[in-house]
Each structure stands twice: as C-alpha cells, then as structure tokens.
Amino acid sequence: MIDFHCHLDLYPDPAGVIDDCRRRGLYVLCVTTTPTAWKGTSALAEHAPRIRTALGLHPQLAHERRGELPLFDELLPQIHYVGEVGLDGAPESRPHWHAQVAVFEHILATCSAAGGRIMSLHSRRASDAVLAGKSKTSPCQWSAGNDAGAAPSSASPSASFFLETGK
Ligand SMILES: [Zn+2]
C-alpha cells in the first residue's frame, strides 16, 4: 500500500509512525506545509527508504508564507516530490484566494521549468481551478482521494500527481 499524503511531522510520535510503517511494509509520501518544514521532516525519515518527503507550501498558509518561495526554489532541484500545494476554496480560505493562486502558479511554473515533479495536490472546493492550473503547465494523469491519506488509484500507475480533495 502507498499513502501519497501523510503529515508525518504533525503526529505526536513520528518515530513510532515510521516504525509502524516499516513493520507493515508501507510506502509513504510525507507532505510538508511550508518549505522551512522540509528539512526537519525529511530528516525524520532519512533512514526509512520507503518513506519520501515532498516539498510543499499549503494553500491555507500561502498568504502568510509566500516569502518562503525563494527557499522552495532553492530546495527544488534536489527534490523529486512536491506537496502539499494547491488551492483551497473553502469560505475561511477564500479571502486569500489571490495569494493562493500566485503561490500555486509560481510553484507549477518552477516545477515545470525544472522538468516536472511528482505532485500531491490539495484541492478543496477548487478542483476546476487546480486542474486548469495544472493543465497549463503539463499534460497529466491523476487520481483523486476523498481525504488526506487516500491511496492513489491503481488504474493510473504512471500518474504524475495525486489530488487530495475535500468539502
Ligand atoms: Zn494535507
């Protein structure tokens, strides 16, 4: 089993979660909510070969943390996975929609210029906008889960990104 969207750094006992994943033989993609979180989160799992860490900037934090985009750009060349990134159209996030779009478009353009990345996308009441932005930069296949932690569809093994959706 593969979990393409895990917030390992937000568990109270990340080392215990890593041990549990190792025992069960699980493959896990850890997403990060800010570029500054990537270093610490990737260090948690550096001795766990089935666990990889994605570089992210959560859309709900885009307006507060857009100043970390230069760090995102600096880290990206050494990183194969990006997430979580995307758009959040829920009422509490709508006031910062323009900042979200600016950050997401920057990330998509940067990833595209770098040759593409495997991405875990956050999309909450924003699927059309997320897919429109993604399709502007590259053709893609995708699979959708209902919530964080949803496994990707086995029908698209070559998918380049995975979509986290919610209400
Ligand atoms: Zn998430």
Ordered DSSP codes for 18-78: HHHHHHHT-EEEE--SSHHHHHHHHHHTTT-TTEEE-B---GGGHHHHGGGHHHHHHHGGG
* Cα of 148 from ligand 1 centre, angstroms: 6
Question: Which listed CATH number (3.20.20.140, 3.40.47.10, 1.10.357.10, 2.70.210.12) goes with 2-166?
Answer: 3.20.20.140
| pLDDT at 134 > cutoff 90 | no
Domain residue limits, the chain: 2-166
46: amino acid identity, one letter: E
Per-residue pLDDT tens over the stretch 37-80? 999 999 999 999 999 999 999 999 999 999 999 999 999 999 99
* Cα of 72 from ligand 1 centre, angstroms: 18
| Lowest mean pLDDT across 5-19, 52-66, 102-116, 151-165 | 151-165
* Cα of 155 from ligand 1 centre, angstroms: 23
* Cα of 77 from ligand 1 centre, angstroms: 23
Contact between 99 and 60 under an 8 Å Cβ cutoff? The reply is: no
| Lowest mean pLDDT across 21-25, 34-38, 138-142 | 138-142
pTM exceeds 0.85 for this model: no
Q: Work out whether the CA dihedral 87, 92, 98, 100 comes out positive or negative.
A: negative
- Of 158, 80, 66, 70, nearest to 116 (Cα)? 80
* Cα of 32 from ligand 1 centre, angstroms: 8
* Cα of 74 from ligand 1 centre, angstroms: 22
| pLDDT at 153 > cutoff 60 | no
Q: Which residues contact 106 (CB under 8 A, 6 or more apart)?
A: 69
> Which one has a higher pLDDT value, 26 or 147?
26
> Which one has a higher pLDDT value, 36 or 140?
36
* Cα of 6 from ligand 1 centre, angstroms: 7
* Cα of 123 from ligand 1 centre, angstroms: 10
* Cα of 139 from ligand 1 centre, angstroms: 23
